[in-house]
Chain A
């Protein structure tokens, strides 16, 4: 299952303690930034702030509709139908 997701959640939980030198300090290898950019934590904050947002109802509606769609068709016919109903619901 989503090992990547679990990995991220761990990373985000630790982000405040790991703002310096923690996580991805690849800049060091490239020699570009001489120190961890002070905005690095902000990038995670931007990302995490969206992750932590409550999911809009439009997503719940779409996820509910997925079961009724035939995945094997590989067509977007069902997709268009779902989009239409989503648009009108807003």
Chain B
């Protein structure tokens, strides 16, 4: 590799500076998305660091004026799928959020624990989980989420709908994986589904 940073890229120093600023600005969002995808904070942060390096290396392909958050989410997503296929994630769960409790909604007898919600989320198939994260947590529109995932808008809507239905069912019936052994079972299911995803849809090369 070159040791001289001045020869790199076709961007002006000002453009590089803008890129760096925008990239820095989305780091908290990348961490949140990654945490939702893989559960463990340390693993999630590793994924974000990998994403930042890849984004930096690919910065010539970023179109100034477009959403840095959407662009980097594509990179993070692809890195996640690649790492998952290498079995890097074991579906372990962060107990750090276990103490946080949502206020009980009206008409609800028991409060929903964020830890339950997070575990239920992690037990979803990867493609539904990411769709729900993007739309339900990240605030992306269906169209933006579809662009990030490289699929049709209708597909995203369907995945979000299925994810919501599954979470509602799990939370209503208390049918939530409790321990990492259960998570491992869920994780295997995710990996199997991922094979289907990879075989058919492939990973977006848009990044």
Chain A residues close to B by CB (< 8 Å):
1-5, 7-8, 11-12, 23-24, 26-27, 29-33, 37-53, 55-56, 58-59, 62-63, 66-79, 82-83, 86
- Which residues 88-105 of B have a CB within 8 angstroms of A? 97, 100, 102, 105
Distance (whole angstroms) from the CB of A31 to the closest CB of chain B: 8
4 closest Cβ contacts across the A-B interface?
A30-B161, A4-B67, A70-B8, A47-B137
Given A33-B164, A45-B102, A50-B31, 11 additional A-B pairs, CB 8 A: A2-B67, A26-B161, A30-B161, A32-B161, A43-B132, A43-B137, A46-B32, A59-B27, A70-B8, A79-B53, A79-B57
Q: Determine which residue in A59, A75, A82 has the highest number of CB atoms from chain B within 10 A of its CB, and name it.
A: A59
The answer, among B2, B18, B114, for a CB contact under 8 Å with A70, is B2
CB pair B28 A86 closer than 8 Å = no
Instruction: Please give me the residue from chain A that is nearest to B69 by CB atom.
Output: A4
CB pair A51 B31 closer than 8 Å = yes
Q: List 26 A-B contacts (CB under 8 A).
A: A1-B22, A2-B69, A5-B29, A12-B139, A24-B142, A27-B164, A29-B157, A40-B164, A43-B132, A44-B136, A44-B137, A44-B139, A45-B114, A46-B36, A47-B32, A47-B33, A48-B32, A49-B97, A56-B45, A58-B49, A62-B52, A70-B5, A70-B7, A73-B57, A74-B57, A75-B57
CA A67 – CA B13 in complex, angstroms? Answer: 10
Distance (whole angstroms) from the CB of A28 to the closest CB of chain B: 10
Chain B residues close to A by CB (< 8 Å):
1-2, 4-5, 7-11, 16, 18, 20-29, 31-33, 35-36, 45, 48-50, 52-54, 56-60, 65, 67-70, 97, 100, 102, 105, 108, 112, 114, 117-118, 121, 132-133, 135-142, 144, 157-158, 160-162, 164-165, 167-168, 171
CB pair A50 B20 closer than 8 Å = no
A51 surroundings in chain B (CB, below 8 A): 28-29, 31-32
Distance (whole angstroms) from the CB of B181 to the closest CB of chain A: 23
CB pair A71 B59 closer than 8 Å = yes
Q: Known: A4-B68, A51-B31. Is A66-B60 also a contact (CB below 8 A)?
A: no
Q: Known: A1-B65, A5-B68, A39-B171. Is A71-B56 also a contact (CB below 8 A)?
A: yes
A5 surroundings in chain B (CB, below 8 A): 25-26, 29, 67-69
The answer, among B11, B58, B105, B118, for a CB contact under 8 Å with A38, is B105
Distance (whole angstroms) from the CB of B76 to the closest CB of chain A: 13
A12 surroundings in chain B (CB, below 8 A): 139
CB pair A43 B136 closer than 8 Å = yes
CB pair B114 A2 closer than 8 Å = no
CA A35 – CA B69 in complex, angstroms? Answer: 30
The answer, among A24, A26, A70, for a CB contact under 8 Å with B1, is A70
